């Protein structure tokens, strides 16, 4: 490639940056060079940037003032995402990648969309499965065959994050051990379900929304949560009817079971199964199968996963302009779908306690 790699600035340098983004960027030296890392903890910024020979910024303003920083990745805790995405856009950067969720509600998401339109700076959201080449190949085929999903099931079983983080890298900022949550407390159960939807299921909700018929896509007015519960020691179960289609999502963090991340889609005429690698695992893409009658067609595995896919997408967008970026309307509706499901599910969990 003739062009110089794009300069990257990273905001927030926690386990996700150390175990996901830096190993991914290390595989893409022709596309990206990390120039600066900022964290509210200067020690963390210095230690993480020192590992890769990048600069450390003490503040967001300092990172954004660095002209070598052409694209920005926002990897801080979610509460800070919207304001930091907007600051990066206003600083005139070429594109922004924001970890999921990119906002906490519709109002924030719409503010981001407005500033993106005003400044022309595109944003993509790191809901990694959206960028998995196994998924994109399979869904393109599914849509071209005109199948209409009536049932979608998401099943996620993972060890606690720290196990895969420490397999991917030597994490400089290990997560503090947290005790077992008190599931007798209804607010803990409600928080676990909404946290599970916004933290784990969120990677698949844009896929699920895309699999609903096109006329149903701004679906949030017609979402009915029919079951929701917290699972011990940590997990969620959620059943919802979306325009009469069944969406069922189960997620559990446990050391005991085989790690699994699957999305199963059923129509009257076909079924599609996507088997994703667990989060933090750098081992290629999802493998997808579409079965119609007697025939099963397989997609993947491709050499790269959704994490690499999102960085590749960012590079394409930053190089060719915002026309190549996903529409901000889609990002808003994806976010609102997730937030509405999370809050309806938490509401249901609280109600069950009252009965
Ligand atoms: N894509 C995935 O698979 C995946 C997995 C887990 C989490 N995430 C997302 O990634 C993001 C980071 O996750 P994490 O587990 O590394 O989080 P974390 O909270 O453990 O670490 C975030 C880092 O940001 C720093 N920070 C705090 N406030 C900041 C601010 N205002 N500005 C800059 N830095 C700040 C903290 O000091 C910390 O080092 C979150 O948005 C989370 O939702 C993504």
- List pLDDT tens digits, range 148-202: 999 999 999 988 767 777 777 777 876 666 677 888 888 999 999 999 999 999 9
Say what percent of the chain tops pLDDT 70: 93
Which CATH number does the domain housing residue 188 bear? 3.30.360.10
**Are 196 and 220 part of one and the same domain?**
yes
Check whether 4 has a pLDDT greater than 80: yes
The average pLDDT across 125-146 equals 95
**Are 276 and 315 part of one and the same domain?**
no
**Are 204 and 243 part of one and the same domain?**
yes
Give residue 173 CA to ligand 1 midpoint distance, Å.
11
Quickly count: other Cβ atoms within 10 Å of residue 137's Cβ: 19
Task: Report pTM.
Answer: 0.94
CA-angle at 114, arms to 335 and 325, nearest 5° = 65
Judge if the beta carbon of residue 230 lies within 6 A of ligand 1.
no
**What are the tens digits of pLDDT across the range 60-74?**
999 999 999 999 999
Atom of ligand 1 nearest to the CA of 16: 16
Judge if the beta carbon of residue 12 lies within 6 A of ligand 1.
yes
**Are 168 and 296 part of one and the same domain?**
yes
**Are 21 and 83 part of one and the same domain?**
yes
Residue 71: name the closest of 125, 8, 5 by CA.
Answer: 8
Which CATH number does the domain housing residue 103 bear? 3.40.50.720
Q: What is the pLDDT of residue 301?
A: 96
Judge if the beta carbon of residue 98 lies within 6 A of ligand 1.
no
Using most ligand atoms within 8 A of CB, pick from 84, 99, 132, 165 the residue to mutate for ligand 1. 99
- Least confident range of 42-46, 52-56, 75-79, 175-179: 175-179
Q: Specify if 332 maps to a domain.
A: no
Which has more confidence, 178 or 271? 271
Residue 77's pLDDT band (cuts 50, 70, 90): very high
| Domain ranges, residue 112 | 6-129+310-326
**Are 105 and 188 part of one and the same domain?**
no
CA-angle at 102, arms to 96 and 105, nearest 5° = 145
**What are the tens digits of pLDDT across the range 94-113?**
999 999 999 999 999 999 99
Measure the CA–CA gap between 133 and 137, rounded to whole angstroms: 6
**Are 139 and 272 part of one and the same domain?**
yes
Judge if the beta carbon of residue 309 lies within 6 A of ligand 1.
no
Give residue 280 CA to ligand 1 midpoint distance, Å.
14
């Amino acid at each position: 490639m003739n062009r110089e790699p794009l300069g990257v600035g990273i905001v927030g340098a926690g386990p996700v940056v150390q175990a996901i983004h830096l190993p991914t960027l290390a595989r893409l030296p022709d596309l990206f060079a990390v120039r600066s890392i900022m964290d509210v903890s200067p020690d963390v910024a210095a230690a993480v940037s020192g590992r890769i020979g990048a600069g450390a910024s003490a503040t967001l303003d300092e990172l954004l003032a660095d002209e070598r920083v052409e694209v920005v990745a926002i990897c801080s805790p979610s509460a800070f995402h919207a304001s930091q995405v907007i600051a990066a856009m206003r600083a005139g950067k070429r594109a922004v990648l924001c970890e999921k969720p990119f906002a906490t509600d519709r109002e924030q998401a719409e503010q981001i969309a407005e500033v993106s339109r005003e400044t022309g700076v595109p944003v993509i959201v790191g809901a990694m499965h959206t960028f998995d080449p196994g998924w994109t190949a399979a869904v393109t085929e599914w849509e071209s065959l005109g199948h209409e999903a009536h049932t979608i099931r998401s099943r996620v079983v993972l060890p606690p994050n720290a196990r895969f983080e420490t397999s991917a890298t030597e994490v400089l900022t290990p997560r503090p051990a947290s005790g077992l949550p008190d599931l007798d407390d209804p607010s803990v159960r409600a928080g676990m379900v909404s946290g599970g939807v916004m933290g784990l299921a969120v990677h698949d909700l844009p896929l699920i929304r895309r699999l609903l018929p096109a006329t149903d896509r701004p679906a949030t007015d017609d979402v009915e949560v029919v079951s929701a519960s917290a699972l011990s020691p940590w997990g969620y179960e959620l059943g919802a009817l979306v325009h009469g289609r069944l969406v069922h999502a189960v997620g559990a963090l446990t050391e005991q079971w085989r790690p699994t991340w699957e999305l199963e889609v059923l129509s009257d005429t076909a079924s599609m199964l996507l088997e994703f690698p667990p989060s933090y695992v750098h081992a290629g893409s999802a493998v997808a199968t579409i079965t119609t009658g007697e025939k099963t067609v397989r997609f993947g595995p491709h050499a790269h996963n959704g994490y690499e896919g999102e960085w590749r997408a960012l590079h394409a967008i930053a190089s060719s302009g915002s026309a190549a970026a996903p529409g901000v309307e889609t990002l808003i509706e994806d976010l609102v779908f997730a937030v509405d499901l999370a809050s309806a599910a938490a509401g249901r969990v609280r109600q069950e306690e009252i009965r």
